[in-house]
Chain A
């Protein structure tokens, strides 16, 4: 049997024996996970430790593998959205919108400008929610719980906005092919405006609490660094790549949903360590706020969905009174919509990196193959490389700042 197929404990056993014979050092294996308070989900790290120092590590994935890609092959297109919710559940609307945009690309549907702007707003709100969680949990993992509770309240407000728009909070299942399920209510806009007004003060307070805190800086600077070259060769994207100093952002490189209409900066870091990742996320929250403001200011008038009766559910009154509407309704709900034979890849800038949907259709009611490019899966592979030679506490901070979310890691 190949060495790689053995569980890491067996391979480390030899290493431990060798080191003991060489210089008498007593190495140990530490099982960090699958259920450990710092893993924020279920994944296992088997670490070879010399006291507090990590010599080698091996990550195990698959503890909550739910075979999303296989399930997707057996579901009509609109039923795949709930699967996307459950990947990066910290920023579910980005996943939803990414999936609808992928479908629209495959079906060649032009979406009204208003829908694009509304999508930008909801995606940026989701990005803020994601960064709130990632950065404040980094605080928790280094021992500062208070900042987490300050900003967590505002994630709650973002969830209230989701509720106003689609009725759900965490796993949103938001939108339809071609737009939203209903017009955004005035209450939703009011909540967004309130959020834009109140949140900057809290975020400033949070930044002040941690970003110049001596202990926090000591705990995060030069912890879990990754160079730009290495990050690119691993396939890093999103804030983690930008922290390493590469100004790569899908929103600018391949603009979707009218991102080209907005002015915003791409914050970049220098050394790609935990502190840079923290700062990049902090700065991105400010950019997201500015994008939302611009989108609200420039919001065009128009319908909240594209005029695509083949794919977009007709109004309920028409279904009860109108023959065509009833037929469309039936076909859409049963998933029998016309789909061309095609192959598309659509990336969006997810909460923690490039979230890509690679869709191959064969003209049937379900995808022939659907692959989710999940950024967490890529970050997690680099994790052991990044923490080698560092302390146990550094590993926790690094894992936290990479924003590895188990749901997205395993899909």
Chain B
């Protein structure tokens, strides 16, 4: 392996990591600003111009707080919980294609940390390990509310992962690949998967809300019932990690939504731009297109959060098992039939 590749990949990895952190940080500000906007308030505006330094101030505050550890049986697990949540939330971004390629220094630079051919499975695997952070943290807190929250999170994650996987199966049947890069490439122009898989998209969207623990599926941390849920006993940056992980995974799942269903970095006229204006400019615009799409989804997450109430535990289970899973199975069958008829026609 030559040195150039190592440098290239390191730069990409570091920038993806920095990007994820930055997005997670600024999602907290965006959340508060959007909530304020939806609720006729002003929102944070003291730190910096228009509250632009608020996330830094929050982070600094969390670092400066006392680290309180409750009298639990296993202090190691208590510390492990937030660590797992955080690292799993950050690991997912490795396989996301941020853009097609740039032509710099006489070489093609693929804008992706790694293009593994089972990227979708990788994302799913990492996302589902993320729930262990909540479960372990909730269990190790030695608090009934935390334990209840951990139970809720676990059962919610299990039920919604099934429906999520099923909705992806239909997509994979159509695209014939598990690589995110290839899925992105197939959607060039306006060939976005959402037009071919609208039902699958809706199921995936609902499940993403459940997977990221956002309202109306934020049963694990509903403050009205469980005080703080799994992070009741956490303080200082350990709690910061949990909150951070939530925003990081929201960012990642928005990105995945954009990549799988909304054409990733593709935008109408991209081919024309590549031929007439230049590869680099076309692909930088592509990166911004992906960014715009994922920002829309982040906004959508927040919009929903500040609009509707949350489900009850049993209603959540009913929605998952009795509605989403049958729907996604039907979606698979219909997709299969259509594909079969389509092949015959050819």
Spell out A's residues near B (CB within 8 Å): 28, 30-31, 36-38, 51-52, 139-146, 149-150, 153, 210, 213, 215-216, 218-219, 391-394, 396
A215 adjacent to B225 (CB under 8 Å): no
CA of A137 to CA of B94, assembled, Å:
43
**B39 is an interface residue with CB less than 8 A from chain A:** yes
Closest A-chain residue to B307, C-beta based?
A146
Give the residue among A51, A146, A210 with the most B Cβ atoms within 10 A.
A146
CA of A45 to CA of B8, assembled, Å:
60
A143 adjacent to B39 (CB under 8 Å): no
CA of A142 to CA of B223, assembled, Å:
10
A52 adjacent to B315 (CB under 8 Å): no
A218 adjacent to B315 (CB under 8 Å): yes
Closest A-chain residue to B39, C-beta based?
A149
B218 adjacent to A145 (CB under 8 Å): no
State how many residues of chain B have any CB contact under 8 Å with chain A: 27
CA of A392 to CA of B314, assembled, Å:
11
B227 adjacent to A37 (CB under 8 Å): yes
CA of A391 to CA of B313, assembled, Å:
8
**B224 is an interface residue with CB less than 8 A from chain A:** yes
B311 adjacent to A215 (CB under 8 Å): yes
CB contacts under 8 Å to A, within B196-251, are 215-216, 218, 222-225, 227
CB contacts under 8 Å to A, within B300-332, are 306-315
B residues in contact with A144, CB < 8 Å = 307-309
A146 adjacent to B38 (CB under 8 Å): yes
Minimal beta-carbon separation of A44 from chain B (angstroms): 14
**B144 is an interface residue with CB less than 8 A from chain A:** yes
CA of A140 to CA of B215, assembled, Å:
12
Q: Given A51-B151, A52-B313, A215-B315, 14 other A-B contacts at CB below 8 A?
A: A30-B145, A38-B224, A139-B309, A142-B309, A143-B216, A143-B218, A143-B224, A146-B306, A149-B39, A213-B308, A213-B309, A215-B310, A219-B311, A391-B313
B312 adjacent to A394 (CB under 8 Å): yes
Chain A to chain B contacts (Cβ below 8 Å), 26 pairs: A28-B144, A37-B223, A37-B224, A37-B227, A38-B225, A52-B148, A139-B309, A140-B224, A141-B224, A142-B309, A143-B308, A145-B39, A146-B38, A146-B39, A146-B306, A149-B39, A150-B39, A215-B311, A216-B309, A218-B315, A219-B315, A391-B312, A392-B313, A393-B225, A393-B313, A396-B224
**B66 is an interface residue with CB less than 8 A from chain A:** no
A residues in contact with B39, CB < 8 Å = 145-146, 149-150
B residues in contact with A149, CB < 8 Å = 39-41
Give the residue among B39, B41, B227 with the most A Cβ atoms within 10 A.
B39
CA of A150 to CA of B311, assembled, Å:
22
